[in-house]
Structures are given as structure tokens and as C-alpha cells.
Amino acid sequence: MNARLMLLACSLLTIAAAPQTAPPPAPAPSPTAAPRPYATIAVTITTTEGPITLALERERAPITTANFLRYVDKKRFDGTAFYRAMPLGESAGLIQGGVRNRSDLILPPIAHEPTTTTGLTHDDGAISLARAAPGSGRGDFFIVVGSVPTLDANPAASGDKLGYAAFGHVTAGMDIVRRILRAPTAAGGPPGMTGQILSAPVKIVSVRRVVARR
């Protein structure tokens, strides 16, 4: 082997034997921040069947929550009732209560807050404002059992696309809500509620804000 070949061979051996430098480690991914909790207000509906506690979405649904609290703070729900039970299949439905047709208790209607704006949904335990046309909601509300997405706003739907204004959810007392949903109903009823009016409405004794303990 001539001198030039020997020099090339030595160079290749030197390159092959050289230690391979490991690439620097990739930086660790930044921890994903937990979603910020939204501000809520706790309220308890005391009924003759027991208490139902709610968390009202004062940040995400401020208009509808403020409306409900007007009735609470003026004690306008006291002595009213859950008067409607509407089963939807075997595992879903809703119960409705509030001032109904009591002209001495009804306050002016409020602007409609659709779920496309608030980001809320009509899932198990959601509380929502009853209404006829959008913007007619006042002092009647309903609580959902199971998931009822057809109550949400749906821009792709025909007709009234705005759904109902969910504004909170039950944090305790869903057993009472389900019990009311299973209660007997009368055969008649106003248009749209035929067969859904409770034979024995469940009295709402009081509705109060929950005072945090110190």
C-alpha cells in the first residue's frame, strides 16, 4: 500500500473511531395551564321535598343570573312551586317552576343569552330560563335531567334557533329533581304542557343565596 493510501485509511479510521456527539435534549414542554374557573354564586332552593343547591354562572351568563337573583333577593320565589314535569325518554327530562302566572310577582323580561354566547349546555343538572319568544324570559325556570342538547342554541336549525338560556347547574339535590320528574301528572294542561302539569305541585318554600362560612 503506497503512502497516499495508507494516509487515507488512517484518516477514515480516525473518523470512524471519533465519538458521536449526542444532540442536545429537547426542551421540556411547558405545562398546560388549567382552565380558569368562572365565577359563580351559590343559591339553595328549599322545597317541601328537600333542598336543591345551585351554582349560578354570574360571569358566563350575567344577564340571566342577575334576573334570577332579582327574584331571589326580593323573595318572589317564596311560596311558588315546581309545577311541571316533562320526561324525555327513560333517562332525561326537565322540571319547571317559578312564578308562573302570578302578576304580583312577575318582573320585566330580560334579553336572551343563547348558549352560543355563554358556552353553557343543557346537560344533567343545568338550570335554564323558561321563555316563549326570545327575550320574553321572566320568573320561570327549569332544571334538566340527563343531556338535552336540543335545548341549546343551534344556528343550523330552522325556525327559532336561539334555544334556551342556561345559567347554572345543580351542585346538590339532583335526587330531589329526579323524584319530582317521576311524580304523577294530570291528563290536561295548557297548550304545550298537556299531561305535564304535576298533580301535586312541589312547593318552593324559599330561595336564598348561600352565605359562605368563615
Task: Give per-residue pLDDT as tens, 168-214.
Answer: 999 999 999 999 999 999 999 999 999 999 999 999 999 999 987 76
Residue 196 burial (CB count, 10 A): 20
By the 8 A CB rule, do 7 and 36 touch?
no
Each residue's pLDDT tens digit, 85-123:
999 998 999 999 999 999 999 999 999 999 999 999 999
pLDDT at residue 60, as a whole number? 98
Give dist(CA 91, CA 15) in Å, integer.
73
List the single range of 19-28, 32-41, 142-151, 171-180 with lowest mean pLDDT.
Answer: 19-28
Each residue's pLDDT tens digit, 53-83:
999 999 999 999 999 999 999 999 999 999 9
**Nine-digit cell string for 96:** 319547571
Q: What is the pTM of this model?
A: 0.83
Residue 145 burial (CB count, 10 A): 25
